[in-house]
A and B are shown apart, each in its own frame.
Chain A
């Protein structure tokens, strides 16, 4: 992971990406016990190309290919890890990126989405594995409930949150 993050930071330093943050299962591991995952999700701001308003991941793939990394489907393998790069697609993801927490892995600086944003994105995505991860956050008291409620309300996710609680947490007072 150290090699992976060093390359991503180098890419950031070279201006290929702007601010980035780790999301997904690796991001969740910052707050929870480790659980197996096969890839790393990186949300990154991308500079706009010229006068176009379209964002493209192509510069990332070109940069990494030029630095000896191989593409593998939707991933690029950097060091040992397949990495999936995503541009924030909406206000929630842009906010998650802006408010990401700075940390270090083996002495390498990096950023991780807050627990509350990881939960909000998981609620919105709504796959069974997202629900399982939310339950982990709740069981381990890894979220600030007030902050989570603010994030959920700010992004129109209260109804989905209520559905989730009704389905999985009917016996609690969360």
Chain B
């Protein structure tokens, strides 16, 4: 499956299913932020909170 096909498939899910994915993504972002991995990967130059705040 190409990236475009995968995006189309995800966009076609029900809102409830998409929100469940949003919740998983949010928990993952919070776990990564809490672990400090973002800070390490950014070399400590940028603010870790800003790095972990997706658009």
Contact = CB atoms under 8 A, between A and B. Distances in A.
A142 interface: yes
Q: How large is the interface on B (under 10, 10 to 19, 20 to 34, 35 or more residues)?
A: 20 to 34
B18 A34 contact: yes
Given A105-B16, A140-B7, A140-B8, A38 B54 contact: yes
Given A26-B19, A29-B22, A140 B54 contact: no
A37 B22 contact: yes
Interface in A24-57: 25-26, 29-38
Given A34-B21, A38-B29, A106 B11 contact: no
A170 to B, nearest CB: 21
Interface in A91-115: 103-106, 112
Contact of B29 (A25, A36, A81, A106): A36
B15 A37 contact: no
B29 A133 contact: no
Given A25-B55, A105-B16, A33 B11 contact: yes
A138 interface: no
Q: Which of B18, B28, B53 has the most CB of A within 10 A?
A: B18
Contact of A30 (B15, B23, B26): B15
B31 interface: no
Contacts of A133: 55
Interface of A: 1, 25-26, 29-38, 80-81, 103-106, 112, 128-129, 132-133, 140, 142
List the 6 shortest-distance A-B pairs measured between CB atoms, nearest first.
Answer: A129-B55, A33-B10, A36-B54, A36-B25, A34-B21, A33-B11
